[in-house]
């Protein structure tokens, strides 16, 4: 199968490598407007060639749209209007905006809205890895709006990547993503800024940073070009989660201010219940 990857960074590049490894892709065409990334994608053999958007659409059977969500929402109608029987799958972290954008398009059925729940703090083709995705979930949204064969192709692809599929509507996806993904990044960015503001000695950060700190702040290395559009598109849901998060932080603050260590222990005990969900 000839596959086009629009955006050859972490997610798009990792999809390309995995599909090569499991031999579902016979040839992969990359579309990349960053000249450095285009060169890296070729040098690292993430893709077999780089072509224009029109050429990639015309020559492929399956197209992955793997660019930041704001750019994807602007480009998707142009892609859909050029489709014949090709299947288009997007992999963005927000779904309501893009699903709303395409809802009245004549080729809406050729589109599958998805969000593979995997990623790292790194970006670009050099971050792509064939060890990606396995054991993680992928959310497919509004499946009833996709053609039967398009949905079946997306399901086949994601199962070949070793992912288990969850189905939900776009609105529910964005609400849940705010809780399990987007707030984690904001918390990490804020924690990194807190430490950088208060800990002036960089050597102290380096010398004393423990595994717990590193794992918590790891996401702060994520690319702002990707995350600002995500927060923008999912603003209302992220604000709702952020307000609750701030409320929880205030409880911990109050416990320390009032030396209420009994309630502090109750808060921590309650948080431990997450162990029953995340093992």
Which pLDDT value is given to residue 71?
Answer: 96
Residue 114 has pLDDT above 90, yes or no: yes
pLDDT band at 202 (very low <50, low <70, confident <90, very high): low
Please report, in angstroms and rounded to a whole number, the separation of the first and last CA atoms in the chain: 38
Domain limits at 187?
173-276
Task: Indicate the residue among 113, 148, 168 that finishes a domain.
Answer: 168
Per-residue buried b or exposed e for 191-222, using 16+ beta carbons within 10 Å of the residue's own CB: ebeeeeeeeeeeeeeeeeeeeeeeeebebbeb
Q: Which of 92-96, 199-203, 254-258, 267-271 has the lowest mean pLDDT?
A: 199-203
pTM score of the predicted model: 0.88
At which residue do the structure tokens 């209007």 appear? 81
Q: What is the pLDDT of residues 176-201, one digit of tens each?
A: 999 989 999 999 999 889 888 777 66
Same domain, residue pair 163 and 189: no
Same domain, residue pair 198 and 152: no
Same domain, residue pair 207 and 247: yes
Same domain, residue pair 263 and 235: yes
Residue 211 has pLDDT above 70, yes or no: no
- Which residues share a beta bridge with 29? 4, 49
Which pLDDT value is given to residue 207?
Answer: 64
Among candidate residues 232, 40, 151, the one with its CA nearest the CA of residue 7: 40
pLDDT band at 161 (very low <50, low <70, confident <90, very high): very high
pLDDT band at 203 (very low <50, low <70, confident <90, very high): low
């Amino acid at each position: 199968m000839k596959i086009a990857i629009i955006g050859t960074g972490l997610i798009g590049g990792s999809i390309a490598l995995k599909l090569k490894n499991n031999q579902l892709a016979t040839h992969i065409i990359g579309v990349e407007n960053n000249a450095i990334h285009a060169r890296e994608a070729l040098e690292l053999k993430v893709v077999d060639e780089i072509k224009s958007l029109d050429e990639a659409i015309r020559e492929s059977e399956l197209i992955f749209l793997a660019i930041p969500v704001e750019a994807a929402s602007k480009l998707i109608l142009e892609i859909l209007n050029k489709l014949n029987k090709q299947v288009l799958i997007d992999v963005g972290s927000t779904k309501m905006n893009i699903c709303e954008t395409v809802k009245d398009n004549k080729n809406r059925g050729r589109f599958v809205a998805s969000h593979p729940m995997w990623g790292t703090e790194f970006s670009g083709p050099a971050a792509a890895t064939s060890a990606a995705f396995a054991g993680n979930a992928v959310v497919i949204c509004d499946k009833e709006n996709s053609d039967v064969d398009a949905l079946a192709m997306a399901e086949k692809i994601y199962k070949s990547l070793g992912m288990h599929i969850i189905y939900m509507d776009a609105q529910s996806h964005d609400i849940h993503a705010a809780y399990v993904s987007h707030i984690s990044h904001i918390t990490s960015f804020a924690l990194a800024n807190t430490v950088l503001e208060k800990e002036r000695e960089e050597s102290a950060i380096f010398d004393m940073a423990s595994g717990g700190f590193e794992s918590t702040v790891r996401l702060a290395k994520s690319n702002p070009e990707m995350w600002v559009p995500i927060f923008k598109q999912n603003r209302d849901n992220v604000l709702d989660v952020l307000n609750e998060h701030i409320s929880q932080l205030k409880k911990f603050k109050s416990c320390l201010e009032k030396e209420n260590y009994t309630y502090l222990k109750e808060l921590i005990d309650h948080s431990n219940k997450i162990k029953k969900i995340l093992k």
